[in-house]
Amino acid sequence: MEKAYQPKEVEDRLYENWEKDGSFAGKINPEHPAYSIVIPPPNVTGVLTMGHVLNNTIQDILARRARQHGYSTLWLPGTDHAGIATQTKVEQQLRKEGKTKHDLGRDGFLEHAKEWRDKHGGIILKQLRKLGCSCDWERTVHTLDPDYSRAVLESFVRLFHNGYVYRGKRMVNWCPVSLTALSDEEVIMKPQNGKLYKIRYELTDSPSEYLEVSTTRPETIMGDVALAIHPDDERWPSLKGRKVRRPLQPAEIPIIADQAVEKDFGTGMLKITPAHDPLDFEIGQRHDLEIIDVFNPDGTLNHLGGPEFSGMDRFEARKATVEKLREQGDLIDEEDHANNVGFSERADVPIEPRLSEQWFLRYPRVEEAKRAVSQGFIRYFPERWTKTYLHWLENIQDWCISRQLWWGHRIPVWYRKGSSRSDPQNWHVSVDGPEDPDNWEQDEDVLDTWASSWLWPIATMGWPDKEEMHKQGLDYFYPTSALVTGPDIIFFWVARMIMAGLEFKGEPVDPKTILSDEEIQKRIPFRDVYFTGIIRDSKGRKMSKSLGNSPDPLDLIEKYGADGLRHGIMSIAPKGQDIRFSEERIEQGRNFCNKLWNVSRFRQMSDNSVRTSDLKSILKRIQPEQLNQDDHAILLRLIETLDEVDRLYGQYEFNSALQSIYRFFWNDLCDWYVENSKSRMREGKDKDTCLAVQDLCLRQVLLLLHPVTPFITEELWDVLGFSAGKSIQWVCPGNGEKLLEEIRSVGIILDRLALTEILAIRELVTSMRALKAERNLASNNKVEFFYLSDDSKAEVLNRHLSSIQSSVGIAAFNRTVSAPNGMPALVTSFGSVYMDLASGIDVDAEKARLNKELESLDKIISNIEKKLSNEAFTGKAPPQVVEGARKQLAENQAKRQETTEALQALA
């Protein structure tokens, strides 16, 4: 074995083996329970980020653990076509070649985009392999695959026929750069420092009398069709029925009253521009006002904006209109104003509220979706996200699902040529289209990407084709066991998948029928949802390409190994909390792997002739009568650890589980057990028993770690001879109880007191080491120690004598009957311990140390005494707590007594 673990060769070799032997294949096997996960499909053109590393490592841990526990496991991978993102990239590419999408035409563009996708896409799936992800690659799905696309269209058609889908001319979020409508979720509110302009509108029946209006968007004045005031405003009675003159594109517009106007904001007077503001639109509807759209789709002004501004960009026009108003004397005031402006998530420009004809979806199964989570049929980890989820569902708005793009699923609606598109009489809605296509033209728009990915858990498993569903195991693997994703897409994806599952899984149900709880449980797409945190850089900033603060995971794999990266990232990922990334943690992960490698090497160097594969034959090598306290203690700790890890994994507490394994492996096993076993290796009496115990511990550690660090554990599993041809992937670590049973079955009864005793001995060794270290005697074995104890304690010390001597590194540790003078002393649970220094000691330094010790003891004692003398405490606290305090007092008093004596002995 190499002196240091070399991950590169091991990882590539093992991954190839796993893939070749079909380890990751999700088999439909009714003899076994199913465990399934569908991957949150990354953008087909994306590359691996630290977020993906975290997210997919967690999924891999779940999948691998399930395999070990005997579940027939499917982790289904795939990619998302990512409408706007991908189309934008392809268009950028075209632009470099001096072309636009219109040069190619729709079909040509799609052909081009597909080629581009096939050439550049899917990189991320290769990167996931490097990370060790155990996805069933045979089942990779892309949202634009023919079958998947059919499922998407089918869902639209069904929703349409059930009355959930409608077409309407409404206010939508318009992105003037992408030239498409967006859903509310794709709009990001950002605080902006703008200006609030105060503008005067002249009353037509009383020239020189003006009303003042505040606005942040003077460039829309040409679209004003009214001024509005709150009906309770005292000015209303005198304004009712009167009119004002619009200061730009002059026209006479009415003054109206509407409840929606805030009396106390600005001047209490609101200009109504129904074409460019959602609230204004609403008010316009109520008062049956005209709609004047002064913008072109790309955010420039059109002819209705007037000749002076026509063709200008909206922000340019803002400046120009302000200037014009100023010239006219209509600008009364301008002041700085902070407000929130909605930005397009993709293009990062302010969205434009725009009236347009779009397809909308009234969400199906909203009530059932709430119930699925509030009743715990779907469990959220951490639980607090249920509140966010429910709040969104309470206030849910219809979903604009049409996008003015080409890259995506084209809406399966055809309009009769030459007829009005507004009249449903002229619509044809079906997956395959009309039989006489020449008489129809298809809707130009595509569906929102999320309106395809919300079908992910069912459409990746054959839905809606009955035969395919059966073949692909929808009924076997669904509902999927767990979903691992970020809370940022709880609305975009998680909530919508739940509704889609409820609506589409199983037999169709009338929209008016509410699903029963039983039915809900059958239809939900997943049982547990684990929300990861967001990975931030060391300064707490979100990782992003533009900041350049995101390390390339592949570089990290190169440097630390995939296992090191996985271990590192998992050790810092508290449940659902944001994560501060630091490369040092990844280094720790690598170090951990190296430690594992080296303790295995030690095991091999001790004796590589003994190789046993399964638990039973390892146990058979143990001679029960040769087991010492160390053996009992380590086995008990192993059992504790197995249970703890089992429980923590079950609660998705990955970092705690890892910490628990770490503690057992590094502290208990390596630092103490293996160290102590060195003398047993040398002496040879009980060497085989000791090696068997080592094997048992190592075997279980490998099993527990395998989900986190799959490569090194598989490699060592083989090297240490545990495999006998069977991969670690299929071996269950079992729990503490099960191991205890196995141990009993070979006639070993573990002694719980041994663990307590060993812990006390460790504490003793630690303080003896400290006493030495303070004098820089760490490597000096010549020192002698004495102890002053009663018989029972002396007996214990005697039993551990050789291990204490070698652990501390001393020549002798003998019992003495009286306190030796002039020696530094320790007060321990085994009595007083003295260090004999050949050359004299620094009495003053010793005194200082012991006095410090006394001081701290006095503080503790007086605190306990105070507590115990308080009748309220002795009366009200539970007896065992009071008893504990008394015991503690006695112990500390004894310690003080001995310390005082030691101090006197120095004088």
Partner RNA sequence: GGACGGCUAGCUCAGUUGGUUAGAGCGACUGGUUUACACCCAGUAGGUCACAGGUUCGAGUCCUGUGCCGUCCACCA
**Residues 217-276 within binding reach of RNA (CB under 7 A):** 217, 260-266, 268, 270-271
- For RNA, the binding residues in 661-700 under the rule CB under 7 A are 666, 670-671, 674-675, 678-679, 681-682
CA-atom Rg of the chain in angstroms: 37
Per CB under 7 A, 716 contacts RNA: no
Among the listed residues 547, 732, 759, 778, the single contact to RNA using CB under 7 A: 778
Cβ-based nearer residue to RNA, 770 or 845: 770
Cβ-based nearer residue to RNA, 384 or 620: 384
Among the listed residues 205, 232, 333, 584, the single contact to RNA using CB under 7 A: 584
Cβ-based nearer residue to RNA, 157 or 760: 760
State in angstroms the smallest separation of the CB of 728 from RNA.
20
Per CB under 7 A, 774 contacts RNA: yes
Phi/psi at 291 (5° precision): -115, 120
Q: How many CA atoms lie within 13 A of 873 on its CB side?
A: 15
Among the listed residues 101, 139, 567, 601, the single contact to RNA using CB under 7 A: 601
Among the listed residues 881, 883, 890, 904, the single contact to RNA using CB under 7 A: 881
- The residue type at 629: Q
Beta bridge partners of 814: 786
SS3 category, 169: strand
424 preceded by cis ω (within 30°)?
Answer: no
- For RNA, the binding residues in 429-458 under the rule CB under 7 A are none
C-alpha 543/C-alpha 554 separation (Å) is 16
Per CB under 7 A, 893 contacts RNA: no
Among the listed residues 355, 447, 619, 864, the single contact to RNA using CB under 7 A: 864
SS3 category, 635: helix
Number of residues that bind RNA (CB under 7 A): 98
Considering only 81-89, 301-309, 380-388, 429-437, which stretch makes contact with RNA by CB under 7 A?
A: 380-388
Per CB under 7 A, 5 contacts RNA: yes
State in angstroms the smallest separation of the CB of 862 from RNA.
10
- For RNA, the binding residues in 841-860 under the rule CB under 7 A are 856, 860
Paired tokens of 95: 């632009």
Residues 710, 614 contacting (CB under 8 angstroms): no
Nearest CA-CA partner of 292 in 269, 271, 316, 312: 271
- The residue type at 790: D
Among the listed residues 32, 102, 286, 387, the single contact to RNA using CB under 7 A: 387
Cβ-based nearer residue to RNA, 599 or 692: 599
- Classify residue 151 by burial, with Cβ atoms within 10 Å: 0-12, 13-18, 19+: buried
Cβ-based nearer residue to RNA, 222 or 674: 674
Considering only 355-363, 415-423, 496-504, 599-607, which stretch makes contact with RNA by CB under 7 A?
A: 599-607
- For RNA, the binding residues in 415-434 under the rule CB under 7 A are none
Cα-based distances in Å from 427 to 168, 416, 674, 706:
14, 7, 78, 57
Beta bridge partners of 480: 526
Cα-based distances in Å from 43 to 532, 753, 788:
18, 57, 71
Q: How many CA atoms lie within 13 A of 34 on its CB side?
A: 22
C-alpha 721/C-alpha 701 separation (Å) is 14
Among the listed residues 77, 892, 899, 905, the single contact to RNA using CB under 7 A: 892
Considering only 12-20, 39-47, 154-162, 651-659, which stretch makes contact with RNA by CB under 7 A?
A: 651-659
State in angstroms the smallest separation of the CB of 506 from RNA.
31
Among the listed residues 231, 434, 511, 574, the single contact to RNA using CB under 7 A: 574
Per CB under 7 A, 384 contacts RNA: yes
State in angstroms the smallest separation of the CB of 340 from RNA.
5
Cβ-based nearer residue to RNA, 273 or 402: 273
State in angstroms the smallest separation of the CB of 261 from RNA.
5
Per CB under 7 A, 582 contacts RNA: yes
- For RNA, the binding residues in 328-367 under the rule CB under 7 A are 339-340
Among the listed residues 572, 642, 739, 783, the single contact to RNA using CB under 7 A: 572
E strand or H helix at 9: helix 7-20
Residues 857, 899 contacting (CB under 8 angstroms): yes
- For RNA, the binding residues in 488-527 under the rule CB under 7 A are 488, 491
C-alpha 468/C-alpha 396 separation (Å) is 34
Residues 6+ apart with CB under 8 A from 148: 141, 142, 452, 455, 459, 460
464 preceded by cis ω (within 30°)?
Answer: yes
Cα-based distances in Å from 486 to 143, 535, 538:
20, 10, 20
Considering only 24-32, 290-298, 580-588, 783-791, which stretch makes contact with RNA by CB under 7 A?
A: 580-588
Residues in contact with RNA, shown as a per-residue x/- string from 537 to 556 under the rule CB under 7 A: -x-x-x--------------
State in angstroms the smallest separation of the CB of 391 from RNA.
6
Among the listed residues 379, 428, 527, 580, the single contact to RNA using CB under 7 A: 580
Per CB under 7 A, 392 contacts RNA: yes
Nearest CA-CA partner of 815 in 831, 839, 829: 831
Per CB under 7 A, 709 contacts RNA: no
Among the listed residues 884, 890, 894, 904, the single contact to RNA using CB under 7 A: 884
Beta bridge partners of 37: 75
C-alpha 685/C-alpha 17 separation (Å) is 41
Per CB under 7 A, 402 contacts RNA: no
CA dihedral 856, 861, 867, 869 (to 10 degrees): -150
Cβ-based nearer residue to RNA, 134 or 892: 892
C-alpha 793/C-alpha 829 separation (Å) is 9
Per CB under 7 A, 872 contacts RNA: yes
Cβ-based nearer residue to RNA, 149 or 183: 183
Residues 6+ apart with CB under 8 A from 271: 199, 201, 213, 215, 221, 224, 226, 227, 228, 280
Per CB under 7 A, 459 contacts RNA: no
Considering only 173-181, 463-471, 582-590, 713-721, which stretch makes contact with RNA by CB under 7 A?
A: 582-590
- For RNA, the binding residues in 746-765 under the rule CB under 7 A are 765
Nearest CA-CA partner of 407 in 41, 180, 78, 82: 82
Cβ-based nearer residue to RNA, 188 or 431: 188
State in angstroms the smallest separation of the CB of 571 from RNA.
8
Phi/psi at 405 (5° precision): -130, 175
Considering only 10-18, 37-45, 182-190, 417-425, which stretch makes contact with RNA by CB under 7 A?
A: 182-190
State in angstroms the smallest separation of the CB of 670 from RNA.
4
Cβ-based nearer residue to RNA, 88 or 591: 591
State in angstroms the smallest separation of the CB of 266 from RNA.
4
Nearest CA-CA partner of 66 in 123, 136, 145, 115: 136
C-alpha 753/C-alpha 757 separation (Å) is 6
Q: If you search the block for the tokens 């005997």, which residue do you land on? A: 70
State in angstroms the smallest separation of the CB of 193 from RNA.
12
- For RNA, the binding residues in 793-812 under the rule CB under 7 A are 809
Per CB under 7 A, 878 contacts RNA: yes
Cβ-based nearer residue to RNA, 36 or 700: 700
- Classify residue 442 by burial, with Cβ atoms within 10 Å: 0-12, 13-18, 19+: middle
Per CB under 7 A, 611 contacts RNA: no
Cβ-based nearer residue to RNA, 20 or 682: 682
- For RNA, the binding residues in 89-148 under the rule CB under 7 A are none
